[in-house]
Structure 1
């Protein structure tokens, strides 16, 4: 796949969805961070259902920390791995209060030092909360990048590095959201919906029925 085709792919994705964003519901960088922590191996729908209630009671690190692990578990028990996520979230609140004045740091190193926060979560927060042109590669983006041959790679880090090199600069800020939404609703795992794909003719997937 060459530079011109990549440019066309993102131009079409932008035309189809000019202002993409996460489907997680949040009002502050802290709430986004917690929502992303909770979303591992869970759906955004399930996380939103829990956080709509949780964030009314504990919208800030100090209020969430006051719940304690058991108190937080009660709000997120419908989410997979909720016990581990509750421990990580409460410890994250403690660190934010003790080391960052209760604010989410705008630094990859500081974010990745928080419990349960890996590179993908840090990239989501940096991109969505702070406007950094990062790309968080999840299963959807990994699949789309390999299937279309936009940025093929054997692991998520290779795909991320290639996307950062290949995505045209003017599209890099929103590339994460375009690709994840495309993978979630169109280029689905079991059966891609090629008939309603806006980039089908540019895609290099050998098995596409077109």
Structure 2
């Protein structure tokens, strides 16, 4: 997940909500974002379908806000067969046109086609380690310890390497910044602010 520039103009670090819990400003902006932050973001995802879905949604987010994608996530899941790679790998041009006509999702032909391409690449990866294992193999030795949003990286040496490896294996819309957002979202790195009540909640990183 990348952040909207408008919500990072002022960077106060954490914001204490009416429930007494400290969160970054972006997660305190709306109930939907707060619930996502409190229950999902940064928690480990290690299954193929789960990682593939998040690769897909991070790709759709490019150039947009995460709030937009999160609001549309139920429609995305319905339109893309709950992000089951085997189902999506069988999509034809008829499915592409169906998706382009679906007002509930982001109707970007390149991103739709990338999602299909990535499903097929995910299936091919099963012959070796599998998508989830590949992605998690790029876990770094340490994780950032940011106090403010401005201190959170937008990419890393590991996300650059992951991006290159996925592209080599036929994936699309997997740039270094998008892959860093993926790594944050599924717990490979912990970029919760030090003052947040969610810091260390994944069990992967304890600092």
TM-score, normalised with respect to structure 1: 0.48
Larger radius of gyration: 1
Q: Which structure shows the higher helix fraction?
A: 1
TM-score scaled by structure 2? 0.48
Structure possessing the higher relative contact order (Cα contacts under 8 Å, 6 or more residues apart): 2
